A and B are shown apart, each in its own frame.
Chain A
Amino acid sequence: ILNVEQSPQSLHVQEGDSTNFTCSFPSSNFYALHWYRWETAKSPEALFVMTLNGDEKKKGRISATLNTKEGYSYLYIKGSQPEDSATYLCALINSGYALNFGKGTSLLVTP
């Protein structure tokens, strides 16, 4: 089982602030890194799937980068809005076919 660490555990920002979270992992030997957005009382929804060192993905105000050599991925949210409030999960697939999830970063954006 690959140990996936996410930081911070929780974050509280004001509307309009930009923010970022970190996903750390010990090995560059994996097939893909996933980011998911998980709103309360809903199901996780995929944001990005990243596979290559240097990958950068963007969806609206949210973007992510991947550095496999140093073992981290960043998720950025530009100009946070209250609707961005959710838990953001990072997960990796190394051997086998299953995702190893981190515990997530809980983001609260207040007006």
Chain B
Amino acid sequence: NAGVTQTPKFRILKIGQSMTLQCAQDMNHNYMYWYRQDPGMGLKLIYYSVGAGITDKGEVPNGYNVSRSTTEDFPLRLELAAPSQTSVYFCASSTLYNEQFFGPGTRLTVL
């Protein structure tokens, strides 16, 4: 099993550009999550999904969108990149209330 995979690993965007961070898992988990890591602030939840077709906002959803068309994939969309979105983004998946499995992360810089 590959577990949770994320692409790209690194990306530099200009202000106002858009991009999609890809996340996929092969463990048949219903629950998937997007977090961002900010220095000194730990992990903040952006969006999560409890199954295909069902998504909900987390603590810091502004500036992001998600979709969940399949159990395996949970892409995160940035529409108009801003410097405040410079961060490391982690995708994770789990079964209900159980341990979350994290992807390797995407390091995004917005200049």
Contacts and interface: CB of A to CB of B under 8 A. Distances in A.
Interface of A: 1, 31-32, 34, 36, 42-46, 49, 51, 89, 93, 96-99, 101-104
A32 B44 CA distance: 18
Contacts of B42: 89, 101-104
Contacts of A93: 97
B31 interface: yes
B100 A99 contact: yes
A43 B103 contact: yes
Interface majority SS (helix, strand, loop, mixed), chain A: loop
27 contacts: A1-B59, A31-B97, A32-B97, A32-B98, A34-B99, A36-B100, A42-B104, A43-B90, A43-B102, A43-B103, A43-B104, A43-B105, A44-B90, A44-B102, A46-B99, A46-B101, A49-B98, A51-B97, A89-B43, A96-B56, A97-B31, A98-B33, A98-B48, A98-B58, A101-B44, A102-B42, A103-B42
Given A97-B48, A103-B42, 14 more contacts: A42-B104, A43-B104, A44-B90, A44-B102, A49-B97, A49-B98, A89-B42, A89-B43, A93-B97, A97-B97, A98-B45, A101-B42, A101-B44, A103-B41
